Amino acid sequence: MRKIWIVIRREFVERVRTKWFIISTIMGPLFMSGVLVAPIALATGGGRDRSIVVVDLTENGFGERLTADLNRSQSIKAERLPTSLTDLTSVTDSLSELVRRKMYDGLLVVTNQALEDGKTEYLGTNASSPRDMQILNRYVQETTLTERLTRAGVDPAAVRQARLDVQIQVTKITGVKGKKESGEGAFALAYAMWFVLYLSIIVYGVTVMGAVVEEKTSRVIEILASSVRPFQLLAGKIVGVGAVGLFQLLIWGICATFLLNHQKEVMHLLRLPMTSETPSFPHMSLVTAAVFLGYFILGYFLYAAMFAAVASTSSSEAEARQAQTPVVMLLVVPSVLMVGILNDPNGSLAHTLGLVPFFSPIAMPVRWAAAPVPPGELALSLGILAATLVAVTWLAARIYRTGILMYGKRPSLRELIRWVRAS
């Protein structure tokens, strides 16, 4: 036990000291603030209002009312330009030129017909921004609707009341009592969990693989093998690298919590407006954090053991990279199928992937974040994963024990089986 501790200590201290660790630890929160701020900055276009020209071909005041309505929105400044049908081409041409010169963002052409067939034309540089188009669409739609209703003889006061914003507040009901999250938040959380789990299991698994290969190629293993038992070395290495991973996740977690709690201050610092449309980030409950951590630890151990076994049978970095493919593929499967899990978190795909041991470390936390999971199923999934971990570690340790002292060509499957069966 003491020797495992010595191996863990070396692995942890030497890794935490490296430039790579320091840089990635600092880059993490920077990346996070980027994720936090970028969509807002993009969505608000740096806080600038869109200025558009309403090319008005109507004769019944619809154009005027539409311009007024658009100006009521927080992000559009509209100017009306009454035009006749004969001048339309020259007017749109000259306005398009102004848009190209960035004096306006776009032009909206409204005709009498708009009330009949609902067709309105918009030309602009921001035509591909979903958010801008959504706002524009909403105001044009509302004004058109009001206009039609008024014409049909409905009392304008009644129309005004009918126009009240309708907003559905989506809340996810979860298996855990008192746990409440918005639907959008749940999706973001599930996505974030997938991202962090997939990346950290791969990155730290490959780190373990590199460490094992390094000991073989540098022949340090010769002297280590005479002091420390192979299992102690393997366990110490995996736990040591894992501790580095947890340490980094902890630093990132603290930074993320801080950023989320001080979103206002951060936004203020970056001179970005804090509006109702600023995306709110999901709150991660303690139970969810525990589920995440549990699957991260078990999943990391499972994959690290496999990466270590693969590395022990390779004599060089290049060989190991080739041999790792099947292990990486196992991790890629649940990631590829993640969209399926998110679309139907209670479907049979999500159920199955949440139980299959090599997929569950990623599939289950994603499912947990997206939908209620019965505690019994969570326990079953964890149980299967833990049992697989024990079996895989046992196998990996036996391959590792022989592999670390073998050089030359990689063993065949038959040789591997003999290594495993040797006493």
Partner 1 sequence: MTSSAAVELKSITKRYAGHTAVQDLTLTVPRGSIYGLLGPNGAGKTSTIRMILGIVRPDEGAISVLGDPGGGWAVNDRIGYLPEERGLYKKMKVLDHLLFLGQAKGMTRSAARVEALRWLDQVGLSQWSGRKIDELSKGMQQKVQFIAAVQHHPQLVVLDEPFAGLDPVNSQVLKDTVRDLSRGGTTILFSTHVMEQAERLCDSVCIIARGKKILDGAVADVKRGHGGRHVVLAVEHGNGDVERLLADRSLIARSDNYGNYAELELTSGTDPQSLLERIIAAGARVTRFEIAEPSLHKIFVDLVGAEAAVPVAIN
Which residues sit at the interface with partner 1, rule CB under 8 A?
2-3, 6-7, 10, 14, 18, 214, 218-229, 405, 415, 418, 423
φ, ψ (nearest 5 deg) of residue 159? -65, -45
User: Cβ of residue 9: shortest distance to partner 1, in angstroms?
Assistant: 8
* Token pair of 418 as six digits: 């003999």
Q: Which is nearer to partner 1, 225 or 272 (CB)?
A: 225
User: Cβ of residue 10: shortest distance to partner 1, in angstroms?
Assistant: 5
CB 360 within 8 A of CB 354: yes
Q: Which is nearer to partner 1, 11 or 69 (CB)?
A: 11
User: Cβ of residue 218: shortest distance to partner 1, in angstroms?
Assistant: 4
Beta strand residue intervals within 114-226, DSSP E: 121-124, 171-173, 180-182
Q: Which is nearer to partner 1, 169 or 226 (CB)?
A: 226
Q: Which is nearer to partner 1, 14 or 59 (CB)?
A: 14
User: Cβ of residue 278: shortest distance to partner 1, in angstroms?
Assistant: 45
The CA distance from 388 to 299, in Å, is 10
CB 295 within 8 A of CB 359: no
* DSSP structure string for 261-287: HTHHHHHHHTT----TTSPPPPP--HH
Q: Which is nearer to partner 1, 65 or 229 (CB)?
A: 229
**DSSP secondary structure letter of residue 93:** H
User: Cβ of residue 241: shortest distance to partner 1, in angstroms?
Assistant: 14
CB 230 within 8 A of CB 4: no
The CA distance from 398 to 422, in Å, is 8
Distance separating the N- and C-terminal Cα atoms of the chain: 22
User: Cβ of residue 406: shortest distance to partner 1, in angstroms?
Assistant: 9
Q: Which is nearer to partner 1, 176 or 224 (CB)?
A: 224
Q: Which is nearer to partner 1, 7 or 53 (CB)?
A: 7
Q: Is 344 exposed, middle or buried (0-12, 13-18, 19+ CB in 10 A)?
A: middle
User: Cβ of residue 6: shortest distance to partner 1, in angstroms?
Assistant: 5
CB 204 within 8 A of CB 244: yes
